[in-house]
Structure 1
Amino acid sequence: MKNSSAADSVVLGPRPQYPIESVDNALRILLLLGERSELRLTEVAEYLGVASSTAHRLLAMLHYRGFIRQDRRSKAYVPGTALTGVAFSILQQFDVRQTLRPFLEELRDETGETVHVATLDGTTVRFIDAIESPRAVRVASRLGRSMPANCTSTGKAMLASLSTERLHQLYPEEELPGLTEHSIRSRAALEREIAGIRRRGYATSSEESEEGVSSVSVAFPAEHSALRLSFNTAMPVSRVKRADIKRIAELMRSTVDRAAALLH
């Protein structure tokens, strides 16, 4: 007997006259992966109501095409580069950026600084929209750039929404990549930083991704979007004051709350 799931409610078209069960089951696996951070062979077989050997063949084909990958340690299946690549391409083409643009403009006007929207792809942050500060001395737009998540306030804000187990899956080794001498370069240090972000509700960075640049970021609640998103405000270190950081963070938290409601 097949188990039910919210994924089964995703039906947007008429049932085909000649359904292909194997294709439907592969698509149901991907929908189920949208609900959970990882999948195991036994739960996929149980969910589909098929033998483990059948579930394994379906997973193997999705793995072959890059839609899933198998974690080396846990052996669980997680989203692959093809799946996240498709999601990122769709994000670029459709209305998430259009929906968030007015809020980004508000943040730029209120702070006078360069602002970004970014998404998390594994351990990488991708900047998908940006508006530069009107000031003569400003942080340049990072639109289209990708950076290690542990080196940016944006990445750290989104990583803080993950479970410790998922964080360890993304970072199986203690040593982490860095961009500057101020970058967080160990998993233990990253976990300590994330604990503080969870308490505060926002992340900061001081020259961790680029010399002379500080930033503040607030992540969107995961339940409001299929993708992990974050707003970021970046400014020259020379303009940063502690009071400004708190003010900008509160402004961004309020803005994220309003923007997230439109993505639900």
Structure 2
Amino acid sequence: MQKKREPVADSLAPQYPIESVDNALKLLLLLGEQPQIRLSEATRYLGVASSTAHRLLAMLAYRGFVRQDPVSKAYLPGPSLTGVAFAIFGRIDIARSAAPVMRSLSEQLRETVHVGMLDGASVRFVAAVEGPAAVRVASRLGRAMPAHCTSTGKVMLAQLPQPELRALLPREQLKRITSHSIGSRTELETELAGIRERGYATNREESEEGVASVAVPIPTRAPGLRLALNAAAPQNRLAASRYPAVAAALVAAAKEIGDQLG
């Protein structure tokens, strides 16, 4: 169970607080810290009756801020909450915020680096710095690709609970970009379990022949907003033995970028 989040230090309590509004906002804040909420958990967290917590969640669902998984009955971020997150994100110049860290990382690794954003079942590359080598992976800035075919996408999919993953990818068969792409949801779920265990994702010619990459998640506070950082290289320069060292550099840089974005 999460500890209750304290009010912002320099904020003054309203003269006439509305408890129901406060409790609804507490649930949204809780949903920003974990992927889903169960009714029993909301009841304990707020210290209210189960019927009260249910009414709060029902109203949030009515307005699209949460949605209930039909199988697990847990509450997940809804389209309105995700929409707010993306609207806020749209006002953040991520390329400018992340650029110094990405340039430093690219120089350190001597390879191309990207920031990707999960957009449904796709990954959209929103920032890029090409590596300094003459032979390098070209920038994918602005491109969208199936998330399961990229290290950037897979590391973000690995953060989703299974019901949400299966809602995004309802069919067992998955589209392949190359002969190395993952072709089934079962195979993907096995891959995602390994990613969760080691903390980073890899891609070896799954999105483009001759290209390999490593990716890690970027920590963000916005509910429903998922970002990741990758390093991409010609496959002959990115042997499996390099993955842990590259991932360690990415984790440090991802934390810096997350801190910049707030």
- TM (norm. structure 1) is 0.76
- The answer to whether the 8 Å contact 2:112/2:232 transfers is yes
Shift of 1:96: 5.8
Cα shift readout 1:47-89 (whole Å, capped 9, x = no counterpart): 2233333323322222122211111211110011222232233
- The answer to whether the 8 Å contact 1:157/1:218 transfers is yes
User: What residue identity is the alignment partner of 2:99?
Assistant: R
Match of 1:253 in 2: 248
Structure 2: gaps (5+ residues) = none
- Give the whole-Å Cα distance in 1 for the aligned partners of 2:122 and 2:76: 15
Cα shift readout 1:168-217 (whole Å, capped 9, x = no counterpart): 542265615324143213232123323444565532223423x4362312
Match of 1:61 in 2: 59
Q: Percent identity?
A: 51
- The answer to whether the 8 Å contact 1:153/1:204 transfers is yes
Match of 1:157 in 2: 155
- The answer to whether the 8 Å contact 1:219/1:228 transfers is no
- The answer to whether the 8 Å contact 1:107/1:252 transfers is no
Q: Secondary structure at the match of 1:6?
A: coil
User: What residue identity is the alignment partner of 1:254?
Assistant: A
- Give the whole-Å Cα distance in 2 for the aligned partners of 1:121 and 1:182: 23
- Give the whole-Å Cα distance in 2 for the aligned partners of 1:83 and 1:257: 29
Alignment of 1:1-264 (within 5 A): 5-10=3-8, 13-94=11-92, 98-120=96-118, 123-133=121-131, 139-161=137-159, 166-171=161-166, 173=170, 175-180=172-177, 181-198=179-196, 201-209=199-207, 211-212=208-209, 214-220=211-217, 224-226=219-221, 228-235=226-233, 239-241=234-236, 243-244=238-239, 246-247=241-242, 250-260=245-255, 263=258
- The answer to whether the 8 Å contact 1:217/1:232 transfers is yes
- The answer to whether the 8 Å contact 1:202/1:216 transfers is no
Shift of 1:30: 0.1
Q: Secondary structure at the match of 2:88?
A: helix
Shift of 1:157: 2.4
- Give the whole-Å Cα distance in 2 for the aligned partners of 1:195 and 1:46: 30
- The answer to whether the 8 Å contact 2:69/2:163 transfers is no
- The answer to whether the 8 Å contact 1:114/1:141 transfers is yes
Higher relative contact order (CA 8 A, sep 6+): 2
Q: How many residues align?
A: 253
- When residues 37 and 201 of structure 1 are mapped into structure 2, their CA distance, relative to the original with a 3 A threshold, is closer
- When residues 62 and 124 of structure 1 are mapped into structure 2, their CA distance, relative to the original with a 3 A threshold, is farther
- Give the whole-Å Cα distance in 2 for the aligned partners of 1:125 and 1:18: 44
User: What residue identity is the alignment partner of 1:52?
Assistant: S
Cα shift readout 1:17-61 (whole Å, capped 9, x = no counterpart): 222222212111101112222112232233223333332332222
Shift of 1:98: 4.4
User: What residue identity is the alignment partner of 2:191?
Assistant: E
Cα shift readout 1:209-256 (whole Å, capped 9, x = no counterpart): 3x43623123147xx532543211234xxx321655544652342242
- Give the whole-Å Cα distance in 1 for the aligned partners of 2:99 and 2:75: 34
Structure 1: gaps (5+ residues) = none
- When residues 202 and 51 of structure 1 are mapped into structure 2, their CA distance, relative to the original with a 3 A threshold, is closer
- The answer to whether the 8 Å contact 1:91/1:97 transfers is no
- The answer to whether the 8 Å contact 1:217/1:230 transfers is no
- When residues 254 and 140 of structure 1 are mapped into structure 2, their CA distance, relative to the original with a 3 A threshold, is closer
- Give the whole-Å Cα distance in 2 for the aligned partners of 1:62 and 1:126: 28
User: What residue identity is the alignment partner of 2:105?
Assistant: L
- TM (norm. structure 2) is 0.77
